[in-house]
Amino acid sequence: MAARRVSSLLSQSISIFFSFISLSLSFFQGRKCYNGSNIVPRFGTSSAAEEIITPSVHVFYTQLLIDGNFVDSPSAEGDAEDINRAVKAARKAFDEGPWPKMTAYERSRILLRFADFVEKHSRELAALKTWDNGKTYEQAKTAEIPMLAKLFRYYAGWADKIHGLTVPADGNYHVQTLHEPIGVAGQIIPWNFPLLMFAWKVGPALAFGNTIVLKTAEQIPLTAFYVGKLFLEAGLPPGVLNIVSGFGPTAGASLASHMDLAFIGPTDTGKVILGLAANSNLPFVVFEDADINTVVELAHFLVLEIMFFFIKGKCCCAGSRTYVHEEVYDEFVEKPKARALKRVVGDPFKKGIEQGPQIDSKQFEKVLRYIRSGVESNATLECGGDQIGDKGYFIQLTVFSNVKDDMLIAQDEIFGPVQSILKFRCVGAKTMGLAAGVFTKSLDTTNRVSRALKAGTVWVNCFDAAIPFGGYKMSGNGREKGIYSLKNYLPVKAFVTALNNRAWI
């Protein structure tokens, strides 16, 4: 039964979440160091003691959204049968329904109305987001929810601005190109940024008249179902957006076998679907002439805090590798360690908390295995390195120095609160993946290294959201956001007409 199906996942996640926030505050006892005027464990992380906070939101939508209705599933979670039903509904909505036949202006109005509803229900969405993956409520409310509305308004603006070309041709022909909706789009979103990834995929697909079957990661069904309800209230016709929550080997594999897949997500899923192999870890490259204090603050605030630690390292472009020139290496290492030791970990619903728990036991154990691997590989553990307390999935913010390129913590995408600091004398063309950052005052170094790095985005002396967003090799095919994302859902058709006589001009 649908409710029972997703409910079984939901009840597990809620019980796990309450175990998160009933954590005890026992710390790993190592050597002591000073944190301001207080003495804290050298390998510890600040933590806040608080009582359990129950969010003021009710969970109403735990069933699958198929053909405009929230329905039960015959299994305990979304599987191939549910995907088949969703694909059938999406195909019917595209072939027979009003959505692709609407004017672009009408479609844009529905997307804009949906964005208004997102803002109206921002508190409920933020609370559900925190329930779903443990990200702090404050961050979800002030950053991710507003970005969700902004992205849909952006794509609503594109709906009536797609034009073809008239192409000169040899012979008596009139040639033009048309951009048409691809039809039914299969989409998979990961658990780290479920609402942003929802917008990146659903926004452009809907703007141009496509219909969708969306599979969420099994850990984060709540927000997708809720925004699905908001879309129906905004006037989206039945069957245009179908949402199934399920596991990769069942629901995900079934969806991938139905159609081409617009995909961004964890690399394990990417390997199954695309059969690719590459490295998508983001490196920061800090040269000897960089402003060290500025770099440390930027790396901590925009990488360790905003893009890294505030989502427990769950960002696919988090700066988990930092290459620092040997001349400034020792000076640099001390500063991110001191900053990491001040981070506050605890109940993500409480104001002032900067890091919540890992999303589930599997990810929790995975991160700890990488940390043990770093220690066993003789990297220097500067801070962190253990769980916090004996309940829940809280992990200390961890910084390693003296990391080598051949260590797992430098090679793999950890998706956890772990930073590796590597030393270099000169940097060449390394195969990267999704993104990279370069810090230097030299224009020559900027040009040389930025072009050499094989990454979809290169930040120079900054770190911010990327448009377009995407990477090389296993970091994804194509690009999300901006004009480059449109071609995922608008294949080009060449239209050729024979002419009896060519125009004289």
Instruction: Answer with the residue of higher pLDDT: 478 or 431.
Output: 478
The Cα–Cα gap between 146 and 195 comes to 10
Is it true that the peptide bond before 238 is cis, omega within 30 degrees of 0?
no
Nearest C-alpha neighbor of 488 from the set 194, 203, 147: 203
Residues 71 and 207 in one domain: yes
pLDDT of residue 189: 85
SS (H, E, C) 189-249: CCCCCHHHHHHHHHHHHHHCCCEEEEEECCCCCHHHHHHHHHHHHCCCCCCCEEEEEECHH
Give me the half-sphere count of Cα atoms (radius 13 Å) on the Cβ side of residue 459.
25
Residues 328 and 388 in one domain: yes
Instruction: Answer with the residue of higher pLDDT: 265 or 488.
Output: 488
Residues 320 and 442 in one domain: yes
pLDDT of residue 230: 97
Q: Residue 431 belongs to a domain with what CATH number? A: 3.40.309.10
Q: Is residue 47 part of a domain?
A: no
**What is the tens place of the pLDDT at every residue in 340-375?**
888 888 888 888 887 888 878 888 888 999 999 999
pLDDT of residue 117: 97
Name the residue with tokens 């990661």. 217
Instruction: Answer with the residue of higher pLDDT: 15 or 243.
Output: 243
Instruction: Answer with the residue of higher pLDDT: 122 or 495.
Output: 122
Instruction: Answer with the residue of higher pLDDT: 90 or 356.
Output: 90
In the chain, what percentage of residues exceed pLDDT 70?
Answer: 68
Q: Residue 361's domain spans which residues?
A: 283-473
Instruction: Answer with the residue of higher pLDDT: 191 or 179.
Output: 179
Q: Is residue 425 part of a domain?
A: yes
Residues 211 and 74 in one domain: yes
Instruction: Answer with the residue of higher pLDDT: 468 or 389.
Output: 389
Instruction: Answer with the residue of higher pLDDT: 36 or 284.
Output: 284
pLDDT class of 15 with cuts at 50, 70, 90: very low
> Strand, helix or coil at 421?
strand
The Cα–Cα gap between 255 and 318 comes to 29
Q: Residue 96 above 90 pLDDT?
A: yes
pLDDT of residue 45: 47
> If you average pLDDT over every residue of the chain, what do you get?
74
Q: Residue 128 belongs to a domain with what CATH number? A: 3.40.605.10
Mean pLDDT on 112-141: 90
> Strand, helix or coil at 366?
helix
As a residue count, the chain comes to 505
pLDDT class of 57 with cuts at 50, 70, 90: confident
Residues 245 and 198 in one domain: yes
Instruction: Answer with the residue of higher pLDDT: 267 or 55.
Output: 55
**What is the tens place of the pLDDT at every residue in 433-478?**
556 667 777 777 777 777 767 666 677 766 655 465 544 444 445 5
Residues 294 and 363 in one domain: yes
Which one-letter DSSP state was computed for residue 77? S
Q: Which residue, of 253, 278, 303, is where some domain finishes?
A: 278
Return the minimum-mean-pLDDT range out of 189-193, 312-316, 334-338. 312-316
Q: Residue 27 above 60 pLDDT?
A: no
Return the minimum-mean-pLDDT range out of 124-138, 225-239, 263-277, 373-387. 263-277
Return the minimum-mean-pLDDT range out of 92-96, 184-188, 244-248, 472-476. 472-476
Q: Is residue 296 part of a domain?
A: yes
The Cα–Cα gap between 201 and 353 comes to 30
Instruction: Answer with the residue of higher pLDDT: 32 or 192.
Output: 192
SS (H, E, C) 432-480: EEEEEEEECCCHHHHHHHHHHCEEEEEEECCCCCCCCECCCHHHCCCCE
Q: Residue 376 above 60 pLDDT?
A: yes
Return the minimum-mean-pLDDT range out of 19-33, 111-125, 405-419, 477-491. 19-33
Mean pLDDT on 475-490: 66
Residues 254 and 326 in one domain: no
pTM, two decimal places: 0.71
Residues 77 and 195 in one domain: yes
pLDDT class of 172 with cuts at 50, 70, 90: confident
pLDDT class of 76 with cuts at 50, 70, 90: confident
Q: Residue 286 above 60 pLDDT?
A: yes
Residues 113 and 176 in one domain: yes
Q: Is residue 427 part of a domain?
A: yes
Q: Which residue, of 243, 278, 313, is where some domain finishes?
A: 278
pLDDT of residue 32: 31
Residues 359 and 403 in one domain: yes
Instruction: Answer with the residue of higher pLDDT: 251 or 472.
Output: 251
pLDDT of residue 159: 92
192 in Cβ contact with 132 (< 8 Å): no
Give me the half-sphere count of Cα atoms (radius 13 Å) on the Cβ side of residue 355.
32
Residues 248 and 353 in one domain: no
The structural domain count of the chain equals: 2
pLDDT of residue 260: 40
